[in-house]
Structure 1
Amino acid sequence: MSGSFDRTLSNQDVLRRRASLLQRMHLDGPLLLLLLILAAGSLFILYSASGRHWDMLLKQSSSFGLGLLAMLVIAQLEPRFMARWAPLGYLGVVGLLLAVEFIGHTAMGATRWINIPGVIRFQPSEFMKIIMPMTIAWYFSTRSLPPSFKHTVISLLLIAIPFMLIVKQPDLGTALLILASGAFVLFIAGLRWSWICMAVAAVVPVAIAMWYFVMHDYQKQRVLTFLDPESDPLGTGWNIIQSKAAIGSGGVFGKGWLQGTQSHLDFLPESHTDFIIAVLAEEFGLVGVCLLLLVYLLLIARGLVITVQAQTLFGKLLAGALTMTFFVYVFVNIGMVSGLLPVVGVPLPFISYGGTSLVTLLSGFGVLMSIHTHRKWIAQV
């Protein structure tokens, strides 16, 4: 027995010596390379979109550095450790969302941030984008699947609490993304198709109820503008009209870096945040947009590979939900900027300016790396 144990230890030592530096650091090479490509491209585009403001570029670089550090730290944590602490993390973030109601910082008519003067200002709802799927994955990981009606209702309640708190801020875009992240776990867990059909059928009455009792006037106006942007071309329809003009004027190869007119002449609002892909399309054309989409597709494909190879139910549910939520981020932003979806204030992942969002996204990829690299060690040992 002792000899067998010693041989196991010696085999493990040999495997660790053979492991690459990235494996020892629990980092996934393909994911890391794609993320660094996006980081470099983001700073390149942001410099133009921000009107050549070095301060904004330095802040975004600092956020990338902080996000990469968070990714590295999270990648060291074993998935079972995340599962153990997910419920406490959920309660902590819900507590922060409640704190926003009382001590939140208000900007641009919304109260979404907690501001500690001289230290940090952050948006608690961003953390829920990771904690939500992690909590639902933890809940289902110790239960038989497909989920029963009772467990489905409990998981929906867990999703509904932060959803309503974020809608109240108001931040409908982030609330819908968090709703989607929890719903993806339910779907991957094997939710019955009959229940899915019932949920789809309930979309219309729920949407009507939200229109009359939940949505604010500016949110309703965004929907009306989506249906007919020309109804108010100098008001609420201005963003979409100018965005389409920027995208169309770029043609196939674009006007060239720093040569865009819509953003540099201030025709395009929020050019460094929600509408930054319009700047990319104008300056680099269809070719630039397709290259960006290719990097996104490779990231999503790698996330799906990690999902398939995950060895635990918790890992499969969490990796799948994070990957599909990332896809929704990209789809919603591009659809919004091109006029295919209503404007809901969702930034373009890794490209738009924003510190908390960037750190959260990189933390999510740190979770994916943890699920994949710890799987390797389990498989080899």
Structure 2
Amino acid sequence: MMEFRLHPVALIRAILRPIDPPLFLLLTVLLAAALVVMQSASPARMEAQLVNTGVALALMWVTARIPSARLLSLAMPLYVLGVVLLVGVALFGEISKGAQRWLDLGVVRIQPSELMKIAMPLMLAWFFQQREGAIGFGEFVLAGVLLAVPVALIVTQPDLGTSLLVAAAGLYVIFFAGLSWKLIVPLVLVAVVGLGSIVAFGDTLCQPGVDWQVLREYQKHRVCTLLDPTSDPLGKGFHIIQSTIAIGSGGMFGKGWMQGTQTHLSFIPERHTDFIFAVMAEEFGLIGALVLLAVLFMLLLRGLMIAAVAPTLGTRLLAGAITMIFFTYAFVNMGMVSGILPVVGVPLPFISYGGTALVTLCVGVGILMSIQRERALSQS
């Protein structure tokens, strides 16, 4: 009877084959930093975060082994599944903290909107690849409809943070597919005028009883609190005031690991999730924040390099969109923690506590590795 044994070196090579070394090194640095900060922000959650990290890395490795063509072929089923589940949430979803975001399937309780963070860019990348060489205005309109359906369902839950991320993921694909600047510039001008009007007439618009129509009352309060946090220092403005105090008090070099007073006196709200950047800035200062930004920048740069040399249109669009999703996570989180953007519940990528977001982000890294692996195989 023949006995098959895999040599340890061959086993290690088989495990490492789908891994892109630069991406994995940068990801490891971020995950290690996350555990260091988590030990200070919320030691009780360290064990759970270690489990989340292990699961996320395992799913990243599995995703990296799937050929990119196979990933794109899953786009339609995943998109349809995601939309059906979002409709299920609207009809039968569980309500928690005033939001209807969860769906109880009996065996497991899921948040379908998280699936759309991956399914949306996959779907649009596949869509444009099917129409390569014949992409016109009609294709962009149809892509916009495909994007609008899940985003609208997520907004009504309501979940502004997730809807923003899903919308951004789709818009990045549409932009990289060649959307004309003639269509982009008017949208940007409308956004600039709208934001300028809110800033200029904030005192009037933020008065009680003024209905903003497009935003719910709590979302209006978030924007108004951003304009003037001191208007409700113990309520809506508490998050922004305390996080900016923590960031500013860290100075150049920080107060030291586990020495942050705002953190350990529990002044920073949600310090293990949305506001973990304030914990890092308080304890490691400007230098620590800049190091984090440098690592994130190198991760983005590596992702864009993979996108630039991806073998097909679909993989180029997918890699570019996923990389820019990482940027959106970081920009929105740091913006809201530092008082530049409204608080919308977006975690700091790879750093904040939470299994769902970490798994989604690491699957995104796995997709980038899969695309890079396919390119390397095509050249060998």
TM-score by length of 1: 0.89
User: Structure 1 residue 146: deviation in Å?
Assistant: 7.6
Query: What is the aligned-residue RMSD (CA, Å)?
Result: 2.1
User: Structure 1 residue 194: deviation in Å?
Assistant: 0.5
Q: Which amino acid aligns with 2:27?
A: L
Contact 1:133 1:185 in 2 (8 A): yes
C-alpha distance after superposition, 1:99-158 (max 9, x if no partner): 2123323222212123456x5433211111111111101010122458311111100000
Contact 2:56 2:359 in 1 (8 A): yes
Looking at structure 2, the residues matched to 73 and 88 of structure 1 have their Cα atoms a distance apart, in angstroms, of 19
Looking at structure 2, the residues matched to 58 and 344 of structure 1 have their Cα atoms a distance apart, in angstroms, of 27
Q: Which 5+ residue runs of structure 1 have no aligned equivalent?
A: 1-16
Matched, 1:180 2:168: yes
Q: Which amino acid aligns with 2:169?
A: S
**Matched ranges for 1:277-288 at <5 A:** 277-288=277-288
Q: Which amino acid aligns with 1:69?
A: A
C-alpha distance after superposition, 1:160-188 (max 9, x if no partner): 00101110111111101111111111111
Matched, 1:43 2:43: no
Q: Which amino acid aligns with 1:157?
A: V
Q: Which residue of 1 aligns with 2:201?
A: none
Contact 1:22 1:28 in 2 (8 A): no
- With over 3 angstroms needed to count, the CA separation of the structure-2 counterparts of 1:174 and 1:145, relative to structure 1, is farther
Looking at structure 1, the residues matched to 351 and 284 of structure 2 have their Cα atoms a distance apart, in angstroms, of 14
C-alpha distance after superposition, 1:226-265 (max 9, x if no partner): 1111111111111101001000111111111111111211
Q: Which residue of 1 aligns with 2:97?
A: 108
**Matched ranges for 1:117-136 at <5 A:** 120-136=108-124
Contact 1:67 1:362 in 2 (8 A): yes
Contact 1:273 1:353 in 2 (8 A): yes
User: Structure 1 residue 80: deviation in Å?
Assistant: 1.0
Q: Which amino acid aligns with 2:325?
A: T
Q: Which residue of 1 aligns with 2:185?
A: 197
Looking at structure 2, the residues matched to 30 and 24 of structure 1 have their Cα atoms a distance apart, in angstroms, of 13
User: Structure 1 residue 199: deviation in Å?
Assistant: 2.5
Q: Which residue of 1 aligns with 2:60?
A: 71
Looking at structure 2, the residues matched to 146 and 248 of structure 1 have their Cα atoms a distance apart, in angstroms, of 52
Looking at structure 2, the residues matched to 199 and 341 of structure 1 have their Cα atoms a distance apart, in angstroms, of 19
**Matched ranges for 1:1-381 at <5 A:** 21=13, 25-50=17-42, 52-53=43-44, 56-115=45-104, 120-144=108-132, 147-203=135-191, 212-380=212-380
C-alpha distance after superposition, 1:283-341 (max 9, x if no partner): 11111111111110110010011011111111100000111111111011001100111
Looking at structure 2, the residues matched to 101 and 327 of structure 1 have their Cα atoms a distance apart, in angstroms, of 30
Q: Which residue of 2 aligns with 1:8?
A: none
User: Structure 1 residue 202: deviation in Å?
Assistant: 4.2
Looking at structure 2, the residues matched to 214 and 32 of structure 1 have their Cα atoms a distance apart, in angstroms, of 41
Contact 1:146 1:192 in 2 (8 A): no
TM-score by length of 2: 0.89
Looking at structure 2, the residues matched to 186 and 366 of structure 1 have their Cα atoms a distance apart, in angstroms, of 22
Looking at structure 1, the residues matched to 329 and 76 of structure 2 have their Cα atoms a distance apart, in angstroms, of 25
Of 197-206 and 88-97, the range deviating more from structure 2: 197-206
Contact 2:212 2:220 in 1 (8 A): no
- With over 3 angstroms needed to count, the CA separation of the structure-2 counterparts of 1:90 and 1:205, relative to structure 1, is farther
Looking at structure 1, the residues matched to 37 and 102 of structure 2 have their Cα atoms a distance apart, in angstroms, of 26
User: Structure 1 residue 22: deviation in Å?
Assistant: 6.9
Looking at structure 2, the residues matched to 285 and 22 of structure 1 have their Cα atoms a distance apart, in angstroms, of 41
Looking at structure 1, the residues matched to 252 and 128 of structure 2 have their Cα atoms a distance apart, in angstroms, of 47
- Classify the secondary structure of the residue corresponding to 1:213: coil
Looking at structure 1, the residues matched to 269 and 282 of structure 2 have their Cα atoms a distance apart, in angstroms, of 14
Looking at structure 2, the residues matched to 231 and 83 of structure 1 have their Cα atoms a distance apart, in angstroms, of 49
User: Structure 1 residue 212: deviation in Å?
Assistant: 3.2
- With over 3 angstroms needed to count, the CA separation of the structure-2 counterparts of 1:332 and 1:353, relative to structure 1, is same
Q: Which amino acid aligns with 2:144?
A: L
Contact 1:146 1:190 in 2 (8 A): no
Contact 2:256 2:283 in 1 (8 A): yes
Q: Which amino acid aligns with 1:215?
A: L
Q: Which residue of 1 aligns with 2:203?
A: none
Looking at structure 1, the residues matched to 15 and 304 of structure 2 have their Cα atoms a distance apart, in angstroms, of 19
Looking at structure 2, the residues matched to 24 and 244 of structure 1 have their Cα atoms a distance apart, in angstroms, of 42
